[in-house]
Amino acid sequence: MPWVWLGIASIFEILFALSSRSACGYTRLWPSLLNVAAAIGGMYTLSLALLTLDVGTAYTIWTGIGATGTVLLGAWLYHERLTPLKLASIAAIIMGAVGLHALAG
């Protein structure tokens, strides 16, 4: 179950990042409310995952999924450029998270 909580927390992290842009400095009500709700939901579900998982590994995976999802969805939703260097960086993030998980006791 902790991995499910971590997955849900990662989705909240992506929603938080994307809604930060849409909130326009907290000047738009609904994106701002989504942003705050995503932040609270993300912290809560991450804390549930951390009851069992190693904090370093879980945090790295959480931020890695959040960063990867945000970059990919930013390219899809906002037409941000996906360069070869960005894709290589995403691969490095994923490899680092997998490595930490493999080494976790």
State both tokens at 31: 């994106």
pLDDT at residue 100, rounded to an integer: 85
Whether pTM > 0.85 for this model: the answer is yes
State the residue range of the domain holding 15: 2-103
pLDDT in tens, the chain (105 residues): 999 999 999 999 999 999 999 999 999 999 999 999 999 999 999 999 999 999 998 999 999 999 999 999 999 999 999 999 999 999 999 999 889 888 876
Alpha-carbon distance of 10 to 27, in angstroms, equals 25
Q: Are the beta carbons of 10 and 72 closer than 8 angstroms?
A: no
Burial state string for 15-26 with b = 16 or more CB within 10 A and e = fewer than 16: bbbbbbeebeee
Specify the number of domains making up the chain: 1
Please give the biggest Cα pair distance in the chain. Answer: 45
